[in-house]
Amino acid sequence: MRKILWIDPVGTDLFDEPIKQFLDTAKDDDTQLDICSLDRGPMHLEYHYYEALVLADMLHVVKKAENGGYDAAVIGCFYDPGLHEAREICERMVVTAPAESAMHIATTLGHSFSILVGRKKWIPKMHENVVKYGFKDQLASFKSLEMGVYDFQKDPAETERRMTVAAREAVEKDGAEVVVLGCTIEFGFYQQLQKEIGVPVIDATIAPLKYAEFLIGLRDRFSWGHSKVYGYESPPPSEIADWKLESQYNIEGLWG
């Protein structure tokens, strides 16, 4: 049994159960999927300040998950906040996130892709990730739905209407061969949108779940895990102890 923890890095559990129910239909039979959110913090990450506020708590949840025997953690926000930092602090557990996994899948299924985002505010941050992950030449466009995080599930019919208009334009005018839903709260719309548009539509909750299962398989069968030299080298436990970071941040026992 593989254990995966999906972390919604916000201070509300509003979407924990709906995401759990949705992903339970997509996970492999031998995957145990748990969902959690943070005990405090902003209720969405649409602003850089909010993202900065949640990083420490989220990273400590990731490390606690590894200590608790989880095989993988998914950071459930399309900004992929703290992804590299989370890989740095984990010795065995694999970590992934929506944007990285969705783009890898999209560029395997087609040469070009477009991302449907909620607001134009999101695009600069997401574009930075496209460039960082090496996919700028495959990006056809960003399409803004002009909806905030809490709008997507409020009126599903209107969300689907806006997605259909934006996705059709992305394919017909921008040359996208694949469409990526650029927010985890856009879950549940991909199937109907695929039927309407006729290209693969990548759900930002399913993509990192399946990518996590894939990475666990690579680790367990071939010992292909996150490299621990250079970029993902872990911080020395001696420094953490000497600097009394556990007591300063109220995380006693996290680093053993």
Which residues does residue 180 pair with via DSSP β-bridges, in sequence order?
Answer: 115, 202
The answer on pLDDT for 240 being more than 90 is yes
Closest CA to 184 of 255, 66, 42, 81: 81
**DSSP 8-class letter at 97:** -
CATH architecture of 2-97+206-248: 3-Layer(aba) Sandwich (3.40)
Instruction: Name the helix (H) or strand (E) containing 252.
Output: none
The two structure tokens encoding residue 210:
């399946």
Please give the torsion angle defined by the CA atoms of residues 27, 67, 79 and 46, in that order, rounded to the nearest 10 degrees. Answer: 110
User: Is pLDDT above 90 for 256?
Assistant: no
Q: What is the pLDDT of residues 54-71, one digit of tens each?
A: 999 999 999 999 999 999
pLDDT digits (tens, 9 = 90+) for 138-161: 999 999 999 999 999 999 999 999
Residue type, 14: L
**Looking at the domain that runs over 99-202, which CATH code has it been given?**
3.40.50.12500
pLDDT tens-digit map of 80-134: 999 999 999 999 999 999 999 999 999 999 999 999 999 999 999 999 999 999 9
- Closest C-alpha to 208, from 91, 43, 77: 77
How many Å apart are CA 102 and CA 203, to the nearest integer? 8
% residues pLDDT > 90 (the chain): 100
Which part of the chain is CATH 3.40.50.12500? 2-97+206-248, 99-202
Distance CA 176, CA 200 (A): 10
User: Residue 90: its pLDDT value, please?
Assistant: 98
Q: What is the pLDDT of residue 37?
A: 98
Structure-token pair, residue 13 = 């559990």
Average pLDDT over residues 203-208: 98
pLDDT of residue 215: 98
> pLDDT exceeding 70 applies to what percent of the chain?
100
- Does 221 score more than 90 pLDDT? yes
Residue 181 main-chain phi, psi, to 5 deg: -85, 115
pLDDT digits (tens, 9 = 90+) for 151-202: 999 999 999 999 999 999 999 999 999 999 999 999 999 999 999 999 999 9
Quote the pLDDT of residue 61: 98
